[in-house]
Structure 1
Amino acid sequence: MGSTFNSLIGLIILALDIWAIINVVKSGGSTGSKLLWILLILVLPVVGLIIWAIAGPRGNVRV
């Protein structure tokens, strides 16, 4: 049962990381900024996702 739970958590984190990377790519930030955010999310999947959620660029935000 533990293995199934860990696999489910891993898939959820993977899906959220992919969603975050797509939003970074769609954002209006500079290319260098986008690259740094993507690298942060890829190198530190959980921590990078949390940092991106708090301070990262948003894609296609209409004000």
Structure 2
Amino acid sequence: MSIEVGSFFGLLLLIADVWAILNIFQSRASTGGKTGWIVLVLILPLVGFILWFLLGPRASSFKG
């Protein structure tokens, strides 16, 4: 049984995108900003993830 490299990287990209979307939901960005980032990550998974990772809103850290 062999696992193709494309399937492996596709699975990693799916995990990364889900992680990014969860972090976008937890961020303090406006609703419109969150929507824009999520749409970008869903439409362009690799490019959207990279852009979010470099430029996107960060999850709010609750200190209380």
Deviation at 1:60, TM superposition (A): 2.2
| Seq. identity, % | 44
Deviation at 1:61, TM superposition (A): 3.5
SS in 2 for 1:58: coil
Superposition TM-score, scaled by structure 2 size: 0.88
RMSD of equivalent CA atoms: 1.7
Question: What does 1:1-63 correspond to in 2, within 5 Å?
Answer: 4-61=4-61
Deviation at 1:4, TM superposition (A): 1.3
Which of 1 and 2 has greater Rg?
Answer: 2
Unmatched 5+ stretches in structure 1: none
SS in 2 for 1:39: helix
Unmatched 5+ stretches in structure 2: none
Q: Which has the higher helix share?
A: 1
SS in 1 for 2:28: coil
Which consecutive aligned stretches of 4+ in structure 1 deviate over 3 angstroms post-superposition? none
